Amino acid sequence: MDLRVGFVGVGGIARRHLENTRKRTDVAMVGYCDVALDRAERCAAEYGGPAYQHFTDLYDKEKPDVVVICTPPFAHGDIEEEAARRGIHFFVEKPVAISMETARRVEAAVASAGTATQVGYMFRLAESVKKARELLSRRSISMVQAHYYMPGLPSPAWWPKMALGGGQLVEQATHMLDLGRFLAGEVVSVTGCTARVRDWTPPAGYEPGSGLLKYSEGMEIPDTTALILQYESGALGTLSCSMVPQKAWDNGFKVVADGLLVTLTGAAARWTGDEEGEMSPGAEWAGYVLWELYDAVKAGTTATSVPYSQGVRSLAVSLAGYESVRRGGVPVRLE
Ligand SMILES: NC(=O)c1ccc[n+]([C@@H]2O[C@H](COP(=O)([O-])OP(=O)(O)OC[C@H]3O[C@@H](n4cnc5c(N)ncnc54)[C@H](O)[C@@H]3O)[C@@H](O)[C@H]2O)c1
């Protein structure tokens, strides 16, 4: 029987998950929910099925087996908690929340329901990244150097607001903090420094256009951040991130291990030293993170690569970075 899948929050990134779901012949797309009802209606027209404005209507009327939740960072908590309470498995986009309180509340609901979950940290599913992890697992790691450079500010109105988007560390660079944990183990301490390097005030006559923004009225978040991380293993790490407009997206890692230097450029891996090689992530790699959850639910297992609890731990690293900044740049220890 087809898996019944519903969608909550059908803005920008949901498009990727809708399209990747459409590719599955064993999945039925049973409904779409968005507080902006016209967005849900557009999905209903395109993919088939009804549109809802409130997630409980989708849950009550369509009884999905799985929901794909792509709401903004501030709009998490009740949607996931209610899904777990009803025994609905869920996929949720990163970050899982903007506060540990919300994340822990949902984590407890999932643990008590025993449902399957997956967080949208898709890099972990790429074969190239798994290979990098396997190579590193056999060596002692000394340095985990990460960067995340975005050439401007994403257009959703919640992005430049700390209380809504959580800032770049929570919202975007979380990919690198999660991947650092995947490659090198748990982080025990974070020291942070942030800056607002640029004047984001729109000049007279500025037209935002499509794509990333160069200016924003009421920009609240830092545009440049540096972290120092200590890993449980004793390795050190750094994360550099910025959204100051320039030419290109650029994110990746250099990981120094005994005898090996591993470089990740996006999801492509290259390694040099006592072994040499390179691997690309494959054409469909960004879809695996969602398909794996569908496969797990169909197989009756909760075993997924990025269960909710992993998203909670990665959120804790981002928040520790901003906490360090609030405390004047002292190291903040993680539990
Ligand atoms: N994994 C990735 O590579 C990746 C890429 C882009 C975005 N994301 C993440 O996806 C999330 C959404 O980003 P986006 O760019 O699609 O944002 P968006 O603003 O374009 O879309 C979010 C949608 O959620 C809706 N929404 C808000 N509150 C809701 C609620 N309570 N119930 C139902 N719908 C609600 C909004 O109306 C909007 O349509 C963010 O957390 C972002 O970090 C992940």
151: tokens are 């050439």
Ligand 1 mean position, distance from CA 9 (Å)? 6
- Which residue's CA is the nearest one to ligand 1's atom 5? 13
Question: Exposed, middle or buried: residue 188 (CB in 10 Å: 0-12, 13-18, 19+)?
Answer: middle
Distances (CA, A) of 115 to 102, 110, 254, 260, 335: 18, 6, 36, 39, 25
What does the H/E/C string look like for 248-262? CCEEEEEEEECCEEE
- Average pLDDT on 8-19 reads 97
For 194-210, the pLDDT digits (tens) are 999 999 999 999 988 88
pLDDT at residue number 121: 98
- Which residue's CA is the nearest one to ligand 1's atom 33? 34
CA dist., res. 33 & res. 44, Å (int): 9
- Average pLDDT on 237-256 reads 97
- Which residue's CA is the nearest one to ligand 1's atom 4? 13
- For the chain, what's the residue count? 335
Ligand 1 mean position, distance from CA 143 (Å)? 33
Could you give the domains of the chain? 3-121+287-306 (3.40.50.720), 123-281+315-333 (3.30.360.10)
Q: Label residue 335 by pLDDT band (50, 70, 90).
A: confident
Strand-pairing partners, residue 145, are 238, 254
Residue of 70, 161, 170, 213 best suited for mutating to test ligand 1, as the one with most atoms within 8 Å of CB = 70
- Average pLDDT on 118-146 reads 98
Residue of 10, 18, 35 best suited for mutating to test ligand 1, as the one with most atoms within 8 Å of CB = 35
pLDDT at residue number 205: 92
Q: Label residue 282 by pLDDT band (50, 70, 90).
A: confident
For residue 95, the ligand 1 atom closest to its alpha carbon is: 41
Q: What pTM was computed for the model? A: 0.97
Ligand 1 mean position, distance from CA 76 (Å)? 10
- Which residue's CA is the nearest one to ligand 1's atom 2? 120
For 57-99, the pLDDT digits (tens) are 999 999 999 999 999 999 999 999 999 999 999 999 999 999 9
Pocket of ligand 1 (CB under 6 A): 8-14, 33-36, 39, 55, 70-73, 75, 93-94, 120, 122, 156, 171
pLDDT at residue number 9: 98
